[in-house]
Amino acid sequence: MRRVGWHRAGPARALWLGALLIAVTALGGPPAAAAPTSRDTLRRAPIELRLPADIVYARAPGDTGAVVFRHGTHVALEGDRCTGCHPRPFTMLRRGPVPRHAAMDAGGSCGSCHDGRRAFGVRDSVACRTCHAGVARDAAASGARAASGAPRVPAPHVFPRGGDSPGPVTFRHDRHLRGAKGCADCHPKPFRMAAAAPLRAGGMHEAAGCGACHDGRRAFDAADPEACGRCHAGAGGTP
């Protein structure tokens, strides 16, 4: 009795359905041809990333502050890939133990990327506060910051006055991030992320330095004599 059942529904119908399926998928079908192609739709369709919540590591004795790990800033730098950090050094399905600085210094945990080459080093004394920034006591403020998605950036860098320089330069990450899409606009080229990396004295006006953006098109021209004061404190020009 069973045999009769699948003889009836058997090869002929499967063949026809299969042929129809192949024809439809191969030709795309007349309605699909009239509609915008799926690739265009794909490009336009925004894919919302639901990343895990911020991970807060409480301040330990000797730290400058608690560490708040954000997935958003890290995944953007990894080209939206999760496999750079998962499942090693960090597990995904359950939270591992609190990362220890000793392990990071030895190149494990955060230190596997924050090694001074791929990202600022975990032993870089200038960068401490980039991670150990502390958590805002006000829950609402912290929520607002998390919602804004603005990354925490390193403290301003002060470059002392060089030989023929009109004055010292204070570089502010926050101001530059306003005009940039993300960290990757300036890192690792022209500027390596390791904060301790020496910046070449002079030549910063060139394309290998600030001039990469300050070319008169993307941002004001570094060579513009009227603009010196916008970077060099105590120099002439519009501040």
Binding site for another protein (CB under 8 A): 2-3, 6-7, 9-11, 13-15, 17-18, 21-22, 24-26, 28-29, 31-32, 35-36, 38-39, 41-42, 45, 47-51, 75, 80-83, 86-88, 91-93
Closest contact distance (angstroms) between CB of 35 and another protein is 4
Q: Which is closer to another protein, CB of 2 or CB of 217?
A: 2
Q: CA angle, corner 118, sides to 180 and 112, nearest 5?
A: 130
Nearer to another protein, 9 or 140 (CB): 9
**Shorter beta-carbon distance to another protein: residue 6 or 148:** 6
CB of residue 69 vs another protein: minimum separation in angstroms?
Answer: 15
Token pair, residue 206, equals 């060139």
Provide, rounded to whole angstroms, the least separation between the CB of residue 146 and another protein: 16
Could you tell me the smallest distance in angstroms from the CB atom of residue 19 to another protein? Answer: 10
Nearer Cβ to another protein (86/172): 86
